[in-house]
Amino acid sequence: MKPLSQLIILIRNKIKYNIYGYCIYITLNIYNLFLSIPFWSLKYLKYGVFMPLILATIWIIFKGCPLTKIQEDLNDEYFSKVLLQNFIPDITRETTARFSYYILLVVTVVGMIRLCPSLLIKF
């Protein structure tokens, strides 16, 4: 497993020598945007809660992330797989896809629960 500082240096070097490296920063910012959705105020959450479903639809239409298809140096791998391999070395492409869809589902469900607390089943 690579330390986080080595990962940051790897990303910086990739951007320095490769124009497609900017897609890495865009992708990381999109990850942060989607992971932060459940923490948004209710005013913005009612619009943002459906963004993960739209992203999943885009992935289905394009058979993967369009930003990943732009990055030639990934050799037809998911960017999230390349990122997760630093923490889980033997992760497969299918597991990465399932993990990504799971995160999108959890973000949507948590956002919906915040919007409509009556959706919770009371025991």
All structural domains of the chain with their residue ranges: 4-119
pLDDT score, position 2: 55
Residue 121, classed as helix, strand or coil, is coil
- Give 107's pLDDT tier (boundaries 50, 70, 90): very high
Q: Are 58 and 67 in contact (CB under 8 A)?
A: no
pLDDT score, position 98: 87
pTM to 2 decimal places? 0.69
